[in-house]
Amino acid sequence: MYKLAYLNLDGTSAFHNKRIIFTGISETIANYTTKENLFSFDLITAGSDELLSLEKMRKMLDVEFGVTSSIENRLIECLVLKSSSNVSVSPLTSRAESIETPDSVIKKNVPLRNLLMQWNGNIPLLQWPIVNETGLDEKQKINITLPKNTERLESVIAAFNTNGFILSKELREMPVIVLKKKANREL
């Protein structure tokens, strides 16, 4: 819910799970997939000011969970995406296509922005956030074939390399959501 509450404050359409830092909060609370940690939230606000509504949401979540939340720049381990000279780009008018095989997913004529959102989204396909350093316009359509199983980083890197990209694990400073335990409240 904090990922939604901080949406677009750093120019990002989605926060990867690795971009949420828990300070003084037990790992059980930090695990959003645990059934006990599921939480429903409705907020209805007057007017159409999205930023004001998201600010109210952050404040309500902070009170509900006994935390303080903020955006801070931190050095984060991530995957850096660069392009080599043999990247396969498509005309902007090309129709997007996705084909699944038993072992891979083939994306043809897909905007780089769409892939980045999918890789960094609410349920990210990769364990680390991807930072785009390709130099390509994110509207540019590309072709890429990736393995269905993205848990083995070596096979993901090899797939990117085959498609004209260089993917490497590096550190980058980026905005993260920091959740800190408030004093006098057990989490």
pLDDT at 133: 94
For residues 169 and 182, the answer to whether their CB atoms sit within 8 Å is no
| pLDDT for the residue 9 | 63
What is the pLDDT, as a whole number, of residue 32? 61
The answer to whether the CB of 164 falls within 8 A of the CB of 86 is yes
pTM of the model: 0.77
CB 177 within 8 A of CB 21: yes
The reported pLDDT for the residue numbered 163 is 86
User: Alpha-carbon torsion 5, 50, 182, 37, what sign?
Assistant: negative
**pLDDT less than 50: residues of the chain:** 186
Kindly state the helix (H) or strand (E) to which residue 80 belongs, with its residue range: strand 67-83
Question: What pLDDT score was predicted for residue 117?
Answer: 82
The pLDDT score that the predictor gives to residue 75 is 94
> By 3-state DSSP, what share of the chain in percent is helix, strand and coil, each rounded to 5?
25, 35, 40
- pLDDT, tens digit (0-9, with 9 covering 90-100), for 22-37: 888 765 555 666 676 6
